Structure 1
Amino acid sequence: MTIKVGLIGCGGITGTHIRGYLRIPEQVKVAAVSDVVTANAEKRAQEVGGAEIFSDYNEMLAKADIDAVDICLPHHLHKDAIVAAANAKKHILCEKPLCLTVQEAEAVQQAVSQNGVTLMCAHNQLTMPPVARVKQMIQEGTFGKVYELRTTDSFFNKFDPKNMGWRAQRAMIGGGELIDTGYHPTYLLLYLASSEPVEVTAMLSKHRLEFMDGEDSAQVLVRFADGSVGNIVTSWAYVPASITEKFSLVAEKGSAYSYGSDLFYKLNGEEEQKIELSSVDTFAEEIKDFVTCLQEGRRPVNTEVEGTNVLKVILGAYKSVEEKRTISLADMA
Structure 2
Amino acid sequence: MSKLKVAVVGCGSIAIHRHVPEYAANPNVELVAFCDLNIEVAQKLADQYGVKLVYDSHEAMLKDVKIDAVSVCTQNVDHAQVSIDAANAGCHVLCEKPMATSIEEAQQMIDAAKNNNVKLMIGHNQRLMPPHVKAKEILQSGKIGKPLTFKTTFGHGGPDSWSIQGKDTWFFQKDKAFVGAMGDLGVHKIDLMRWLFDEEVAEVAAFVETLDKDADVDDNATTLLRMENGAIGTMAASWTYYKGEDNTTSIYGEKGVLEIHDDPDVQVVVKLANGTIERYSVGAIATNEAGGQVASGVIDEFVDAIANDRTPSITGESAMESLRTVLAALESTKSKTFVSVATIK
Q: Could you tell me the TM-score, scaled by structure 1's length?
A: 0.92
Match of residue 290 from structure 2? none
Q: Are 1:199 and 2:211 counterparts? A: no
Q: Are 1:56 and 2:19 counterparts? A: no
Match of residue 27 from structure 1? 28
Deviation, 1:40, is: 1.4
The 2-side partners of 1:89 and 1:287 are apart by 19
* Equivalent residue in structure 2 for 1:230, among 233, 251, 254: 233
In the superposition, relative to structure 1, how do residues 158 and 31 fare at CA in structure 2: closer, same or farther (>3 Å)?
A: closer
1:310-329 paired onto structure 2 within 5 Å: 310-329=322-341
In the superposition, relative to structure 1, how do residues 91 and 158 fare at CA in structure 2: closer, same or farther (>3 Å)?
A: closer
RMSD: 2.1
Match of residue 279 from structure 2? 274
Match of residue 80 from structure 1? 81
Instruction: Find the residue that maps to 1:182 and give its secondary structure.
Output: helix
The 1-side partners of 2:270 and 2:296 are apart by 27
In the superposition, relative to structure 1, how do residues 296 and 108 fare at CA in structure 2: closer, same or farther (>3 Å)?
A: same
The 1-side partners of 2:90 and 2:280 are apart by 43
Match of residue 216 from structure 2? 213
Instruction: Find the residue that maps to 2:126 and give its secondary structure.
Output: helix
Match of residue 102 from structure 1? 103
The 2-side partners of 1:220 and 1:299 are apart by 31
The 1-side partners of 2:80 and 2:140 are apart by 33
Q: Are 1:159 and 2:160 counterparts? A: yes
Match of residue 305 from structure 1? 317
Query: 1:61 is aligned with what amino acid?
Result: L
Instruction: Find the residue that maps to 1:29 and give its secondary structure.
Output: strand
Match of residue 168 from structure 1? 172
1:181-196 paired onto structure 2 within 5 Å: 181-196=185-200
Query: For 1:303-326, what per-residue CA distance to the aligned partner results, in whole angstroms no more than 9, with x for missing partners?
Result: 111211111111100100100101
The 2-side partners of 1:170 and 1:158 are apart by 14
Match of residue 46 from structure 1? 47
State the aligned residue count.
330
Unmatched segments (≥5 aa) in structure 1: none
Deviation, 1:82, is: 0.8
The 2-side partners of 1:172 and 1:276 are apart by 39
Taking every aligned residue pair, what percent have the same amino acid on both sides? 29
Contact 2:260-2:268 within 8 A present in 1 as well: yes
In the superposition, relative to structure 1, how do residues 104 and 156 fare at CA in structure 2: closer, same or farther (>3 Å)?
A: same
Instruction: Find the residue that maps to 1:85 and give its secondary structure.
Output: helix
Instruction: Find the residue that maps to 1:310 and give its secondary structure.
Output: helix
In the superposition, relative to structure 1, how do residues 98 and 158 fare at CA in structure 2: closer, same or farther (>3 Å)?
A: closer
Contact 1:83-1:107 within 8 A present in 2 as well: yes
Unmatched segments (≥5 aa) in structure 2: 287-292
* Equivalent residue in structure 2 for 1:251, among 228, 250, 253: 253
Q: Are 1:130 and 2:142 counterparts? A: no
Contact 2:305-2:311 within 8 A present in 1 as well: yes
The 2-side partners of 1:245 and 1:98 are apart by 21
